[in-house]
């Protein structure tokens, strides 16, 4: 008997969790459940994290979590509990298989069998946002080398363990050359260690278009967090319904299993939701805790239910489906088929768990880091770039001088175009005057002098050379 933590969540969560637990019980899962309350009710009683300390205790003790979707209230400082859980517990890999069940579930992509492996801890999901001026708000996109290496290695190890032939990587490194560029670079580096696996990189826009149009050309896809979040919904939906896909969030010694969809409030409480996503997540959970036979029994009964044309409303199609069932009745149909195998669809047979894949990070030597200048961000409304430059140049020192001003990343000084639309948010780049070393004291002196001129400094970013190479982006049009 293994003790796991469960949460019934919000919206359709309680219905799909009850359906899942009934199937698990009928299949003979040897699981003791500890239920915690998380989500909307916890948020609305004033806990902005959506989870109480006692719930963390249960999670940290049991280290296995089966979670129904929750509703994150919009705005108001509420942080997404899903993101917090994944990050606090170090669940770095989010594995989302998206499979077509042709000809039993209507889909335009009968041969689709794609596994999305989404980086789960960083990227824009740090949720580090600041309003800096009246007009401009920023969100920090953080991509780390160890975080990237972990997810890329996980993707290749997954492909190896599951006999997958190809790993594709999607990024937007033609624009974000440093952050997405790192993801791409590590993909190329790590990929060399897997000569038997085919690998390719796609710019995310065309990659996404091809995934939506011809998903059968893909096998395993590894992506940074935001792209993975968006494209796994697309991938699941084009198999027939977003309600069909389950996911596993894997960390070192900890795992959380959930459907990929959200709490679908518009259909909550109507016994309409498809419980399949959570049920397939529970199948992965059972494999994780060593109950492979129960997992296979449930998965195969579920496949047989689909084959028998017993469908929930989201995948029901007149002429193809036989019966449109509610959430609870669909679960009963799966229970009625426990012990049966699918007739046509490939039988589910598991060899190992997603959590048995472990990765180690290659230690990297520390680089030689050298201060090369500073970007100082100024809040100023209605000023012309040339006038701003004149004011800033009066702060030039013996060490640092103004070389460029950009607005929303586009160079507006020197030699800007009057056509470029400018907001009240200016990045002013000062670089060292000679190759002689500079220090942060000289940057502070420069900032004091700018402050004394009456300009409103919002923030600064140091410009560094790493191992002698510039480690900061150029201005657009520079």
Q: Which parts of this chain interact with ligand NAD (CB under 6 A)? A: 12, 69-72, 82, 242-243, 258, 261-267, 273-274, 277, 314
Shortest Å, Cβ 10 to ligand NAD: 7
Classify burial at 406, counting beta carbons within 10 Å of its beta carbon; exposed 0-12, middle 13-18, buried 19 or more.
buried
Separation of alpha carbons 14 and 10, rounded Å: 7
**Which of 193, 218, 195, 196 lies closest to 208 in space, CA to CA?**
218
Q: Which of 468, 465, 447, 445 is CA-nearest to residue 457?
A: 447
Which residue's CB comes closest to ligand NAD?
A: 262
Write phi, then psi, for 400 (nearest 5 degrees): -130, 140
Q: Which pair of tokens denotes residue 125?
A: 């999901």
> Is the Cβ of residue 13 or residue 373 nearer to ligand NAD in the bound state?
13
Nearer to ligand NAD, 258 or 424 (CB): 258
Q: Which is nearer to ligand NAD, 173 or 233 (CB)?
A: 233
Whether the Cβ atoms of residue 374 and residue 430 lie closer than 8 Å to each other: yes
Query: Per-residue DSSP letters for 18-38?
Result: HHHHHHHHHHT--EEEEE--B
Tokens at residue 396, please?
A: 């030039």
Cβ-Cβ contacts under 8 Å for 61 (sequence gap 6 or more): none
Burial of 226 (0-12, 13-18, 19+ CB in 10 A): middle
State the nearest-atom distance from the C-beta of 337 to ligand NAD, in Å: 20
Considering beta carbons, is residue 82 or 239 the nearer one to ligand NAD? 82
Give 193: exposed, middle or buried? Use CB within 10 Å, 0-12, 13-18, 19+.
exposed
Q: Residue 192 burial (CB < 10 Å; 0-12/13-18/19+)? A: exposed
Q: State which residue, 24 or 70, has the beta carbon closest to ligand NAD.
A: 70
Tell me how far, at minimum, the Cβ of 11 lies from ligand NAD, in Å: 6
**Minimum CB–partner distance for residue 33 and ligand NAD (Å):** 18
Name the minimum Å distance from CB 274 to ligand NAD. 4
- Tokens for 153? 């290695």
Give the shortest CB-65-to-ligand NAD separation in angstroms.
12
3-state secondary structure of 310: strand
Q: Cβ 319 to ligand NAD, closest distance in Å?
A: 20
Tell the smallest beta-carbon distance from residue 148 to ligand NAD (Å): 23
Indicate the residue among 42 and 392 with the shorter CB distance to ligand NAD: 42
* Residues 6 or more apart whose Cβ sits within 8 Å of residue 418: none
Identity of the residue, 80 or 396, whose beta carbon is nearer to ligand NAD in the bound complex: 80
Q: How far is it, in rounded angstroms, from Cα 166 to Cα 150?
A: 18
> In this complex, which beta carbon is closest to ligand NAD, that of residue 197 or of residue 230?
230
- Structure-derived torsion over alpha carbons of residues 276, 278, 282, 288, reported in degrees to the nearest 10: 120
CB atoms near residue 391 (< 10 Å): 17
> Please, which residue, 170 or 257, has the CB nearer to ligand NAD?
257
User: Which residue lies nearer to ligand NAD by CB, 243 or 385?
Assistant: 243
Nearest approach, Cβ of 172 to ligand NAD (angstroms)? 22
Beta carbon of residue 456, minimum distance to ligand NAD (angstroms, whole number): 35
Beta-bridge partners for 180 = none
Question: How far, in Å, CA of 361 to CA of 154, rounded?
Answer: 11
């Amino acid at each position: 008997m293994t003790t796991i933590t469960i949460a019934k969540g919000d919206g359709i969560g309680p219905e799909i969790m009850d359906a899942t637990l009934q199937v698990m019980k009928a299949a003979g899962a040897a699981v003791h459940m500890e239920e915690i309350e998380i989500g909307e009710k916890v948020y609305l009683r004033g806990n902005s994290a959506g989870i109480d300390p006692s719930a963390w205790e249960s999670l940290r003790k049991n280290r296995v979590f089966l979670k129904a979707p929750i509703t994150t209230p919009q705005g108001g400082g509420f942080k997404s509990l899903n993101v917090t859980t994944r990050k606090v517990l170090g669940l770095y890999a989010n594995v989302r298989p998206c499979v077509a069940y042709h000809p039993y579930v209507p889909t335009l992509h009968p041969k689709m069998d794609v596994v999305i492996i989404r980086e789960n801890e960083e990227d824009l999901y740090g949720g580090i946002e600041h309003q800096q001026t009246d007009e401009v708000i920023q969100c920090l996109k953080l991509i780390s080398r160890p975080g990237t290496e972990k997810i890329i290695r996980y993707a290749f190890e997954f492909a190896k363990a599951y006999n997958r032939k190809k790993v594709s990587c999607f990024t937007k490194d033609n624009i974000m050359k440093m952050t997405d560029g790192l993801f791409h670079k590590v993909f190329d580096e790590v990929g060399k260690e897997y000569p038997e696996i085919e690998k390719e990189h796609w710019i995310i826009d065309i990659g996404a278009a091809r995934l939506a149009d011809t998903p059968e050309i893909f096998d395993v896809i590894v992506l940074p967090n935001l792209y993975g979040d968006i494209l796994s919904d697309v991938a699941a939906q084009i198999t027939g319904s977003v309600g069909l896909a389950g996911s596993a969030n894997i960390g070192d010694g900890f795992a959380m299993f959930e459907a990929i969809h959200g709490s679908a409030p518009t259909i909550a409480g109507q016994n309409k939701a498809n419980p399949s996503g959570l049920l397939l997540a529970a199948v992965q959970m059972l494999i994780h805790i060593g109950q492979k036979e129960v997992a296979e029994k449930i998965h195969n009964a579920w496949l047989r239910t689909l084959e028998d044309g017993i469908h929930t409303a989201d995948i029901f199609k007149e002429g193809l489906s036989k019966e449109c069932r509610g959430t609870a009745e669909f679960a009963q149909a799966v229970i009625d088929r426990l012990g049966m195998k699918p007739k046509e669809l490939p039988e589910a047979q598991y060899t190992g768990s997603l959590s048995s894949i472990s990765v180690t990070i290659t230690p990297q030597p520390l680089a030689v880091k050298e201060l090369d200048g500073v970007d100082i961000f100024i809040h100023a409304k209605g000023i012309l770039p040339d006038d701003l430059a004149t004011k800033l140049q009066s702060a030039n020192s013996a060490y640092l001088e103004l070389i460029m001003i950009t607005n929303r990343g586009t160079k507006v000084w020197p030699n800007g175009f009057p056509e470029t639309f400018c907001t009240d948010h200016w990045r002013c780049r000062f670089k060292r005057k000679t190759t002689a070393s500079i220090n942060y004291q000289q940057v502070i002196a420069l900032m004091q002098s700018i402050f004394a001129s009456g300009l409103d400094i919002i923030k600064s970013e140091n410009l560094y050379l790493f191992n002698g190479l510039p480690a900061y982006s150029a201005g657009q049009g520079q």
